[in-house]
């Protein structure tokens, strides 16, 4: 027997329509590439989104067309999120930090029809335009007065597209499983792989985020997404913020510690979201100034594992740290580590122990761990296994890439994350390592993540990474690579001694290498692929 309720398709345009009607005065503040700060509201933004949707229609954009963006976090990029998908097309965000080869592959693979580009990235387009589809049209995201003198033909101006258009739009009806967004992985091995989000998955993800993170996502809060709009939907914030009434403070391209501190301080940002490398820079600035930015009280950390020392540094200063985990293929949120009420009164060290985990699953995401034979492992907090997930916000395949798709799902349709993890009886997820980053020495596994967390507790270490190097006797041995703080000179013996207090002798790195700076991937993580290429046999 079926229920007797109306069925209305879940659509992305309804999120901003709701935000504009229910929270009209909530703000979007943007540091612009033009050099100033732009302020607007959800109500006024909704009107501009309608104008942009009319403009896209006038340019011949139809349902299913891929419309690309190459831009920083700002109000125009936010408008594109809604106008593109709301009108039935697919918003394809491109990471400007990708290599020229990867970017060219992505644009051609997606067969983009339009590319909206911030003025900052026009030189990239000029360089690569000849390798992209001939019918691809370029729109520069600025007004007529700031249009660059680009060596490109038939370039359009963003504000010209909106000018004179109606401020309301009759959003079309279509099935809720229609494609809405496209995001490619950074392609650390092989070509980048595309995840194609639907309206249904995106709306469900926004709803789940609001339920899961009510301390961050609520009316009156001001949120700083340092996580970029060009990667995995800025962790869903463009959708969950209007749904909850939270204001968005977009930083543009200045993501150094000083710039972020000044912006957060001026705008009284309460919650900031981003990867650990960004927060290391902010913490250095906080230490130098001897205080937090005004109003700052909440930090969401994801993208890669947050170290214990980073969590402690913010928690000691009264900032709640929410360690989160997810993947591009998961929309991306999978778990979050705000502690349940029963654990908030634990001693400080025990709370940090918990917050160092990846936390508990969000609604709609299921998790399991299995051994090498695919057999389920107990959730006892002791037994590791390969982590698999499934849910309404998890991909079913990679976009037009059957070869990549066939290797990542088990017989029951669960998605293989590539992580090795443990799950305890309380449902807390502990990522042990990426499968490809585990070090197998003498038949025993060594976790690079465990070693890195210990080394990061040393006050003289700014960042570090542990990689496997070949060994004729033990197969692989760990190599520790360290980026020291500017005002410190940690010694090899100090770091190995610190590790010797916590791990077995056979797990100790055979050597320590000091570098000026660790290489980062396009999404701000330490690039272990680059380090393996640089130190193929541990040689400096």
The verdict on whether 193 is a catalytic residue reads: no
Alpha carbon distances (Å) from 40 to 2, 69, 226, 264, 289 = 45, 21, 19, 17, 30
Catalytic residue among 93, 142, 185, 335: 185
Catalytic residue among 127, 382, 436, 440: 440
The verdict on whether 393 is a catalytic residue reads: no
Cis peptide before 332 (omega within 30 of 0): yes
C-alpha 149/C-alpha 331 separation (Å) is 37
> For residues 67 and 92, is the Cβ–Cβ distance under 8 A?
yes
C-alpha 124/C-alpha 289 separation (Å) is 37
Catalytic residue among 445, 476, 483, 494: 445
How is residue 315 written in tokens?
A: 């928690």
Cβ burial, residue 515 (10 Å; 0-12/13-18/19+): middle
Q: 10 Cβ partners below 8 Å, 6+ apart?
A: 176, 199, 200, 203, 204
> For residues 69 and 80, is the Cβ–Cβ distance under 8 A?
yes
The verdict on whether 445 is a catalytic residue reads: yes
Catalytic residue among 79, 176, 267, 329: 329
170-193: b or e for each residue (b if 16 or more CB lie within 10 Å)?
A: ebeebebebbbbbbbbbbbeebbb
DSSP state of 252: B
C-alpha 79/C-alpha 248 separation (Å) is 13
The verdict on whether 329 is a catalytic residue reads: yes
Q: 539 Cβ partners below 8 Å, 6+ apart?
A: none
> For residues 122 and 150, is the Cβ–Cβ distance under 8 A?
yes
For the annotated catalytic residues, the residue numbers are 185, 329, 440, 445
């Amino acid at each position: 027997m079926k229920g007797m309720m109306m069925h209305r398709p879940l659509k992305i345009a309804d999120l901003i329509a709701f935000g504009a009607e229910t929270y009209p005065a909530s703000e979007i503040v943007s540091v612009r590439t033009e050099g100033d700060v732009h302020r607007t509201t959800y109500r006024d933004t909704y009107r501009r989104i309608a104008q942009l949707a009319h403009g896209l229609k006038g340019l011949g954009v139809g349902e299913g067309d891929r419309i690309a963006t190459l831009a920083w976090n700002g109000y125009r990029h936010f408008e594109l999120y809604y106008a593109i998908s709301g009108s039935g097309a697919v918003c394809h965000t491109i990471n400007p930090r990708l290599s020229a080869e990867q970017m060219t592959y992505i644009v051609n693979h997606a067969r983009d029809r339009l590319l909206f580009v911030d003025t900052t990235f026009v030189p990239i387009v000029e360089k690569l335009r000849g390798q992209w589809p001939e019918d691809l049209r370029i729109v520069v995201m600025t007004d007529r007065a700031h249009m660059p003198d680009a060596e490109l033909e038939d370039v359009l101006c963003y504000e010209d597209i909106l000018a004179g258009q109606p401020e309301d739009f009759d959003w079309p009806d279509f099935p809720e499983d229609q494609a809405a967004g496209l995001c490619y992985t950074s392609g650390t091995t092989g070509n980048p792989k595309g995840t194609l989000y639907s309206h249904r998955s995106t709306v469900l993800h926004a709803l789940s985020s609001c339920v899961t993170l009510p301390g961050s996502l609520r009316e009156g809060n001001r949120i700083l997404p340092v996580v970029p709009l060009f990667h995995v939907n800025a962790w869903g914030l463009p959708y969950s913020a209007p749904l909850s009434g939270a204001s968005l403070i977009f930083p543009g391209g200045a993501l150094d510690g000083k710039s972020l501190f000044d912006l957060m301080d001026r705008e009284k940002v309460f919650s900031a979201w981003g990867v650990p490398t960004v927060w290391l820079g902010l913490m250095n600035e906080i230490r130098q100034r001897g205080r937090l930015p005004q109003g700052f009280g909440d930090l969401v950390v994801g993208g890669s594992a947050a170290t214990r020392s980073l969590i402690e540094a913010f928690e000691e200063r009264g900032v709640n740290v929410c360690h989160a985990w997810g993947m591009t293929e998961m929309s991306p949120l999978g778990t979050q580590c705000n502690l349940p009420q029963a654990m908030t009164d634990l001693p400080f060290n025990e709370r940090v122990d918990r917050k160092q985990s990846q936390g508990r699953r969000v609604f709609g995401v299921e998790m399991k761990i299995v051994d090498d034979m695919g057999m389920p492992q107990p959730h006892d907090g002791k037994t590791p296994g390969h982590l698999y997930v499934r849910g309404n916000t998890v991909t079913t395949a990679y976009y037009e890439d059957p070869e990549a798709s066939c290797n990542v799902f088990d017989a029951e349709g669960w998605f293989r994350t590539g992580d090795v993890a443990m799950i305890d009886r309380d449902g807390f997820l502990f990522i042990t390592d990426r499968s490809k980053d585990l070090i197998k020495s003498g038949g025993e596994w060594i976790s690079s993540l465990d070693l890195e967390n210990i080394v990061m507790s040393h006050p003289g270490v700014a960042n570090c990474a542990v990689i496997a190097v070949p060994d004729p006797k033990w197969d692989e041995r760990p190599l520790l690579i360290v980026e020291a703080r500017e005002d410190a000179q940690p010694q090899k013996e100090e770091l190995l001694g610190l590790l010797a207090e916590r791990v077995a002798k056979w797990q100790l790195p055979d050597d320590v290498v000091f570098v000026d700076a660790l290489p980062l991937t396009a999404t701000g993580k330490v690039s272990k692929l680059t380090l393996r290429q640089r130190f193929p046999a541990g040689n400096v």
